[in-house]
Chains A and B, each alone.
Chain A
């Protein structure tokens, strides 16, 4: 339908996640009508982001200009406790809780036998190296609570059982604010397994 530069922009936009042909066309026409300086600012932002953004050499979180990420660069963070996540975006989610003061390790994926993602495709060898070299006492397995994430957690738990760090898994439970009657069997079953003792007084504000 369209030809030349407009066609190729629509094609490029259409390759992005969550953008179908219609959205691609809408964005392309928005950019066509926008002032040149706005479009230049956007294209510069994309190029600069691509050039400056790197992965932290320690934890594989997003970092800038080849340096360490904000967490690894922060001397206040507790180096004895390591939170394992699948994706840098999961670090943002955990950080928003303000409950975790340790450090991270990003796997960049989860084991997925159907997609051919095995241990070698993830940052697992790097994790084992950190566990061997850094003064890590506890590893928290914070992978997604789905089939791939659970398999990854079980695999790591088995690997780490040969070391002397303690290995924990984030609890599965009911979403706060939800109704029990709508809970699925798997989630409710896990919530029952992971029940906590309320007879001993706990300080609910502790962070780890």
Chain B
């Protein structure tokens, strides 16, 4: 038996025996762990509410020969009470946990995923921010982390790049390079526009290649802003295209996982 300490977010729990639970935790340094919390279901448990899903905790864990670790101590870093006590935020928080659970692997440390989950939970618990885009932004960022970020700057099928942009840095760069031809292109009327999103190729498509769902310019801009790192700007206030981005991000994540996201599809928050 060896003892280790780490920080982590409780992703889910399962009942075990009379009064125990198996707690699934995404830790910073040890990847996803499955550990037994003995007696946690008793009202007199020393763990109390500390090992409920959503809790961000600092842990002391016994690691033995069996595939289940044993939780020795747990202290709260953050309870995320604003999430758990808001009917609108709870399902969104649970969908973050579900995706983190599906993406993470046991025994394989992924500190970036852990940091992104903690960051997303903090954003979701901050009442000054709009909760609508937290989960879709997290999904898109995680897809990026997995090397499966949706292609947004060129047609994912034929590679054509838009010569005009709706104001993002990467596009401005492309537009500047192409400035000499721009006038002729405009005159010729064959401006490339990215107008649809296809889940199979994982990105935007031009008019010529279009299939899948149509995507508005606002939604495309929003996805670019999310993936280019300006999250704090995106999460402040109401953004046009939010609903489209929520659907695209959810479907892209489901395609990546090859599995439906139960928490997103549940009717609880509706």
Contact = CB atoms under 8 A, between A and B. Distances in A.
A189 B47 CA distance: 15
Given A114-B12, A147-B84, A18 B17 contact: yes
B188 interface: no
Contacts of A115: 262
Interface in B225-270: 262-263, 266-268
A111 B79 contact: no
Interface string B85-96: 111001100110
Given A111-B268, A114-B12, A183 B90 contact: no
Interface string A164-208: 000000000001011000111111010000000000000000000
Given A150-B85, A151-B87, A185 B76 contact: yes
Interface string A95-115: 000000000000000010111
A155 B50 CA distance: 23
Nearest to B20: A18
B171 to A, nearest CB: 37
A118 interface: yes
B91 A145 contact: no
Contacts of B47: 184
A175 B87 CA distance: 26
Nearest to B88: A154
A67 interface: no
Looking at B17, B90, B263, which has the most chain A CB atoms within 10 Å of its CB? B90
Interface in B45-64: 46-50, 52-55
Given A186-B79, A187-B48, A155 B268 contact: yes
Contacts of B44: 175, 177-178
Contact residues on A (Cβ < 8 Å of other chain), bracket: 20 to 34
A158 interface: yes
B94 A150 contact: no
A40 interface: no
Contact of B268 (A119, A178, A183, A187): A119
A115 B268 CA distance: 12
Interface in B90-119: 90-91, 94-95, 97-98
A86 B138 CA distance: 33
B48 A186 contact: yes
A114 B87 contact: no
B268 A186 contact: no
A158 to B, nearest CB: 6
Contacts of B87: 151, 154-155, 158
Contacts of A175: 43-44
B181 interface: no
A116 interface: yes
Nearest to A146: B52
Contacts of B12: 114
Given A113-B268, A154-B85, 19 more contacts: A18-B18, A113-B91, A114-B97, A118-B266, A146-B52, A147-B53, A150-B85, A151-B87, A154-B87, A158-B87, A177-B44, A184-B47, A184-B49, A185-B50, A185-B76, A186-B55, A186-B76, A186-B79, A186-B81
Given A18-B18, A147-B52, A175-B44, A114 B267 contact: no
A114 B268 contact: no
Contacts of A147: 52-54, 84, 90, 94
Interface string B13-54: 000011000000000000000000000000110111110111
Given A18-B18, A184-B76, A186-B81, A145 B263 contact: no
A145 B49 contact: yes
Contact of B48 (A114, A155, A183): A183
B49 to A, nearest CB: 4
Contacts of B266: 111, 113, 116, 118
A184 B84 contact: no
A177 B43 CA distance: 11
A41 to B, nearest CB: 26
Given A154-B87, A183-B48, A184-B48, A118 B94 contact: no
